[in-house]
């Protein structure tokens, strides 16, 4: 059985809630980035999560966590990203944190998996959208909370299929 590790940063609890739902669906371990060490990235599939704050920035705990990610070799590992944001109030930076984490994972040698079509979202721009797809799972509990459980379940099923 493949080992899955979820590492996330959450301020209001929305990203933590998504991480816990994913963990339950995937039989994974979910660890806050503030409590993580290098062993949290030792898995067949590493899932990184962050809410997007300010003008498209990572969640605060990732400020130190990104240094930990910089020290980890992800060569040959599959990495997926997810996060929460507000697609209406911050349409021009919605889910930017996903793009930041995805770029860092690829820089560290990872193969990015779990892209999601952007057509079902109302955001105008995002660092996380490339060729019409989010680099991972974008969630908007502020404006589309009713879609979150279905989006998480569908994404988890997609990730299981690649393991």
In whole angstroms, what is the distance from residue 136 CA to residue 139 CA?
10
Burial class (CB in 10 A: 0-12, 13-18, 19+), 120: exposed
Q: Return the DSSP state at 108.
A: T
Could you tell me how many residues make up the chain?
163
What digits encode the pLDDT tens for the residues 12-66? 999 999 999 999 999 999 999 999 999 999 999 999 999 999 888 999 999 889 9
What digits encode the pLDDT tens for the residues 78-92? 999 999 999 888 888
Look up the CATH architecture of domain 4-162.
3-Layer(aba) Sandwich (3.40)
Q: Can you give the pLDDT at residue 124? A: 62
pTM for this predicted structure: 0.95
* Residue 104 or residue 124, greater confidence: 104
For residue 48, the number of C-alpha atoms closer than 13 Å in the C-beta half-sphere is 34
In whole angstroms, what is the distance from residue 30 CA to residue 20 CA?
6
């Amino acid at each position: 059985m493949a080992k899955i590790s979820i590492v996330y940063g959450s301020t209001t609890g929305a990203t933590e809630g998504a991480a816990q739902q994913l963990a339950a669906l995937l039989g994974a371990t979910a660890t806050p980035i503030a409590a993580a060490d290098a062993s949290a990235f030792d898995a067949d599939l590493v899932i990184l999560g962050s809410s997007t704050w300010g003008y498209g920035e990572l969640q605060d705990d990732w400020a130190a966590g990104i240094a930990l990610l910089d020290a980890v070799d992800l060569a040959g590992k599959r990495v997926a990203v997810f996060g929460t944001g507000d697609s209406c109030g911050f349409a021009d930076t919605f889910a930017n944190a996903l793009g930041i984490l995805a770029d860092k994972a690829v820089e560290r040698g990872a193969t990015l998996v779990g892209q999601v079509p952007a057509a079902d979202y109302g955001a105008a721009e995002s660092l996380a959208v490339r060729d019409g797809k989010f680099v991972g799972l974008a969630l908007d509990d502020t404006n589309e909370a009713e879609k979150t459980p279905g989006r998480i379940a569908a994404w988890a099923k997609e990730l299981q299929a690649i393991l």
